[in-house]
Each structure stands twice: as structure tokens, then as C-alpha cells.
Amino acid sequence: MTAQLGVILLFLAFLCAAYAWGASFLGGRREDDRLVESARNAAIMTWPLLTAAALTLISLLVRGEFNTTFVWTVTDRAMPTYLKVTALWGGQAGSLLFWSWLMSTFTAAAMLRNWKRERHLMPYVISAAMGTLTFFIVLVAFWENPFARYWQTLGGDVATAMFGPSAFFTPLGVAWGSLAQKIPGLLGIVAKGMVPLTAPLGATAVFPPDGNGLNPLLRHPGMIIHPPMLYLGFVSFVVPYAFGMAALARGEVSDSWIRATRRWTLVGWLFLSLGLILGGWWAYDVLGWGGYWAWDPVENAAFMPWLTGTAFLHSVMIQEKRGMLRRWNMVLITLTYLQVVLGTFATRSGFVSSVHSFAQSAIGPLFSIFLGGALIVSVSLLIKRWDEMAADNELDSLFSRETFFLINNLLFLCINVAVAVGTYWPVFTELLQGVVPGVQKSSLGEGFFNATTGPMFMALIFLMGVTPLIAWKHASLKRVARAMLWPSVIALAILGAVTAIMGVRGLLPAGRVVVLTLIGYGVALDAGSLTIGEYYRGVRARMVTHGENFFAALGTMVGRNRRRYGGYLIHLGVVIMAIGVIASHVFQKETQQAVSSGQTITMGDYVLEYKNLERFMASDGRAVTRAQAVVYQNGREVAQLSPRIDSYPGGQPMSIPGKYTSFMGDDFYVLLVTWEPLSLSNATFKIYYNPLVNWVWMGGFVFIFGTLVAAWPDFSEERRSVPAKSRRATPLAAAGK
């Protein structure tokens, strides 16, 4: 496979996507069934073309074709094969190709799965999805082409171009580029940074002997999985957005588009959740600062669509159950889509400064234009169909499940606004600098995010436990209080025992912090107790009425209502994570000391004894400085740790911690900071004690498992829910009548 083949495949994919975009829209307007079918075929065709393009790039990466600019940027000869494959998303151009391939995969799957069942919506579904895909293929093919190659000009300069010099095409390409640069206004902006089609006349190919290598921070197993999970979450949310816009375009704002995209939304939410959890694990294991979440702008860029997507998943229940919040759900899925595009822009363009951002690019103006266009189209459709999306029912009572779901949604949206303000505050202040007197570029730190979002998260966790107890339409306060009584008593008893133990061990914080900590623990424990109580009541009812044993009753109950009990598992996962977050944040201890061989550092019940230091070259070319230390707890040896610093050629050093995890999930987290280069007998260590930090990962596992339970398809239920006539292909013209 050659780089030229990859360029040709990208161009063909662009033509198919652009045709599918235009033909589907035109076919929908004219109710031309044949035109829509041809658009569908073109949309599906983008998948094998982009698959072949991605495989071509992987082949170039594995073979070490360093004449290709992207291959040189992200690989070298010493890298193992698995890292060369995953380097596909280790740089700007490759990650955009990977994003486009995932988008084509999900779009093709949606075409095949929903073609017959939602035929009347498909023209505009194709148009919305293909419009998004066309934009990303344009970026890959013309601005960030991963198949561009190095060429040396007659003047000795090194240039990049897709193809070699040609007596016919090179002058044509130069003339086109010159013309594009002279076009005034927006076109002049977006023309900047395009990859030349052909190299200058007389240029010769350059073949570097080795590559630059992958960024050291991206060689961790977490970063092999983390970006694909985020991208999968991003592209999955494009599907429900496309169906929502199609429903608006056709004026069919019933619940059918919600039912058609329920699984897609859950899948997108699952992958986005998994990506966020893996990102936290990577930060904890690689960045060497003892934490896992720092409100980094790129972390937040993925977190914001997760917030609105979570709100959407909750509010669609009200639309399905009561015919309410149609307008609100359209707004939420639109916000989620726009934040997906904005998050991709922030991650891949260098728009915000971040330890996670590995790219600076000229694609910012293109993203701005596309984002503005998507916003205008979405808002126009919302305004056009606003009156038609009126609710079938009104709130019967303020004390009802509908009201609590609405409060839940408003809290998610408020958190989203707070995170957005904190994330893009440097951008806002930079724009206002020099325009508004006294405004200087500034940023909002971790304290702002914790102070604004912390109370709202506590309120969400409280609602998470209480809402399932509240009936639809109108609830009885007395009945809810009775249902809350014993779970709350159990939660308070557990809280009292934990508080007593922490007080005896001297772990309780001082002052106002202790009150906030106990409130946080109390809310989390109460929500967990109430959720477990829901399982208990359901299992007990089946055991009494059907004579089943506990495990049979539990399995049947969950199997018959996966969405409900999978959701409760998600809630339990959130409770476990909340306990881990509170403990590791409030009770974290740290110290930094310099010691000689044989000396110790004491922190609480733990003692670290420094043994020795060694330096060597690893087989992959990195220089390793590794310390050997022994950890004692209450005088008993519990672990031997080897914190180290890895230095890659031309890359930044990486501090890899040594960790001891106790039975309760605490971490004794050790970093090697500096050492005496001559004798290697003296070294400085930074130590963190992170109590219950592993509960964050355990809770994440329960969270993901619950999502899988909720999203697992029930094919018999799906067949029952589809009317017989909708199972047959319906001509578009008939469906529009």
C-alpha cells in the first residue's frame, strides 16, 4: 500500500459523502425515492473507502514509511508494532481520519438498521450525518492529510505535498492555490494551511532514516484505549442528533425518533463515560501529580457533552411516559451535538491550552464556520417546529417524578454552564483584552470548578436516590417519607460508624471542611441505601409472589426491566465513585523529602525505606532511572516499589509512580523527583497517601456494567414494539402523505 493510494481513497470518500449529503436533501425535498436510495448507497460506500484509507495508513505506520509526514511525526523504528498501530490516533491528521472512519461506520450501521423502520426520516438523517462526515473528510483530505509526503525542492528546502511534481498538475495546483489565497473574506482564511496537491517542479522525495517517535505521554495503555472511547462516544451522539433534525425537517415530532435512537444514545453515553474514566486513570498513572481529575480544558471538552447527554437520557423518559419535554429534548440533543463538535475542535486545534492537547493547527476557522452553520440550521428548525412540539400534558403536581426529573435536568445544565465558563474563560478574557478597559487575560483554577459544581453534584446524587421513590403525576409525601425511613436510618448508622473510626484515627479534617465532608458522605450513603432498597423491594416481591430464590428473583427482575435496574446499577456506581472522590480529595496527604540509601520517610502508618537507584537503557531507546524502595505498614513489609523516570529521545521525561494499594482501596503513591547523578545514593521522593482512591475505578466498573445492562438489546421486545406495517419498506412519497 502506498501513500498515493491513501490520498485517492480519501478523495473518493469525499465525493461519496458530498454526493450523499446533497442527494439525500434534494431527494427529501422532492420525495424522490430513487434519489434517496442512491444517497443511502453513497453514504454506506464511504465506510469501505475510509476503512481502506485507515488500513493504508496503518500499513505505512507499521512498515516505517518515514517519507510520509504523519508516519515520521508519530513513529520511530524502536517502537513496538502495537504502538505503531495505535499511533493512528496519536497525531492530528491520523486522529481526524480515525474520527471520520468511526463516523462512517456508525452512519452505515444506522442506514442498515433503521432504513425500513424509519424510512420517512432517512433523507434528512442521511443529510445531517453526511454533512458532518463531509466536513471531517474535507479536513482530512485537504488540510490535515496524513498521506502527505516530504519533498526537497531545487532550493534545498523541504516541502510537503500529496503527489510528486508533474509538468501538467503542478502549475495548475500552484495557480489554484494562489487564487484561493487572494479570495477575500472567509475563503481567504480557510485557504490558509491547505496541503499542496503536488510538489514543486524538480523536487525529489526525501526518505528520513528514522522517525520522530510518539509523544511519551501517549505510550501508556490508557491512552491506547482512552481516545477511541471518546471518539466513539462523540460520533455515536451524531446519530440521535441526525434523527432529531430529520424529525424537525419533516415536521414529525412524535416519539418515533426517540425510540429509534434510544440504543444509539446509550451506546454513545457508554463510550463517552468509559473514555472519561480511562482518561482519569491515565492522568493518575502517568502525569505524576497524585490526582486523576484537574478540570483540564480538554477533559472538560469531553465532559460537557456527557453532561447534556446524561440530561437527555433522563428527560426522554418523561417524553415517552407522559408526552412532555419534546422541546427540551430537542434542545438537549442539539446542545450535545454542538458540544461534540466544539470538543473535537478544542482537542485537535490547540484552541485551549492543555496537557492533553498534542496539536496546533490552522483548522480553527474551518471549525468555527461549520459550528456556526450547524447552530444556525439547528436553531432555525427548532424555531420552525416550536409550536408543533407542544407537550401533550402539563405538570399535575410539583411533587411528582416529572418535577424531580426536570430539576435533575436543570442541575446538569447549570453544571454544564459552570464548566463551560471556567474552561473558556481564558478565551473570553483574551478577546475582551484591549476592548474592555481593565480586562486582562486570566484563567479560573480548580477552586472555581469545585466551588460551583460541588454542591450541584451533591444535589444530583440526592435526587438520584429519591426520584425512583416518587410516583408519576402526583406523589404522596407520607408514602415517600415511609419508603425513605429505613434506608436513611441505615445510611446514618454507617456514617456514624465511619465518623467514629476516622475520629479515632485522627483523619477527620478541621473546621468547616468536616461539616461539608460529612454532608457529602451522608448524601452518597443515603442515595446508595435507597437504591439498594429498590432492589430489595423488587426481589422480595418476586420471592413472595413466585416462590423464587433470591438469585432467580434478581435475575428475572433485572432481565425483564433492564433499563430500570441497569440504571440503578449506574446509580450505585456513581455512589461508589463519589465516596472515592470525597475521600481522596479531602483526606489526601503528601510530603517530599530527600533521603540517602537506607534512610526512611514516614507518613501515618506507612514507612518508605529507600534502598538504591539504577540507570539503564531500555530496548525501545528510553533512558530509565529507577529507584528501589520498601514500604512498611505498622512495622510489617507490605510492598516493594520501583518508581522511575523514563526519558525518551527528544521527548519530555515521564514520572512513573510506584503504588501500593491496600485492601480498603487506599494508595501509597511514590514518585521519584530527583537524584544525585554521581553517587546515585541520594534521591528525593514525593509521596501521596490517597485514601479510597481505587473506589473511583471500582465505581467506574459498576457504572459501565450498569450501562451495558441498560443498553443490552431485548430483540423480542423490539419486535413487539414495531407495528407490522412499519416493518415493511414504505415508499418515501407514501410516507410523506
- Which pLDDT tens digit goes with each residue over 632-653? 998 899 999 999 998 887 667 8
Q: Strand pairing partners for 637?
A: 632
For 334: left if phi > 0, alpha if psi spans -120 to 50, otherwise beta; the answer is alpha
pLDDT higher than 90, residue 349: no
**pLDDT band, very low/low/confident/very high, at 626 (cuts 50, 70, 90):** very high
pLDDT higher than 90, residue 221: no
Give yes or no for a contact between 277 and 339, defined as CB atoms under 8 angstroms apart: no
- Better-scored residue on pLDDT, 507 or 410: 410
Q: Helix (H, G, I), strand (E, B), or coil: what is residue 150?
A: strand
Q: Pick the most confident of 108-117, 154-163, 356-365, 453-462.
A: 453-462
Q: What is the distance between the alpha carbons of residues 632 and 609, in angstroms, rounded to a whole number?
A: 8
For 323: left if phi > 0, alpha if psi spans -120 to 50, otherwise beta; the answer is left
**pLDDT band, very low/low/confident/very high, at 725 (cuts 50, 70, 90):** very low
Mean pLDDT of all residues in the chain?
Answer: 85
Measured at the CA of 261, the angle between CA 416 and CA 730, to 5 degrees, comes to 150
**pLDDT band, very low/low/confident/very high, at 124 (cuts 50, 70, 90):** very high
Contacts with 10 (C-beta within 8 Å, 6 or more apart), sequence order: 49, 50, 53, 97, 137, 140, 141, 145, 147
pLDDT, residue 169, reads 57
pLDDT higher than 90, residue 510: no
**pLDDT band, very low/low/confident/very high, at 508 (cuts 50, 70, 90):** low
pLDDT higher than 60, residue 547: yes
Q: State pTM to two decimals.
A: 0.88
pLDDT, residue 381, reads 94
pLDDT, residue 67, reads 92
279-291 residue pLDDT tens? 888 888 877 788 8
pLDDT, residue 734, reads 42
Q: Pick the most confident of 47-51, 141-145, 270-274, 579-583.
A: 47-51
**pLDDT band, very low/low/confident/very high, at 382 (cuts 50, 70, 90):** very high
Any idea where the domains of the chain sit in the sequence? 1-214, 218-472, 476-573+705-721, 589-690
pLDDT higher than 60, residue 171: no
Q: What is the distance between the alpha carbons of residues 336 and 312, in angstroms, rounded to a whole number?
A: 9
pLDDT, residue 609, reads 95
Pairing between β-strand 204-205 and β-strand 600-603 as defined by DSSP bridges = unpaired
13-63 residue pLDDT tens? 999 999 999 999 999 998 888 999 999 999 999 999 999 999 999 999 999
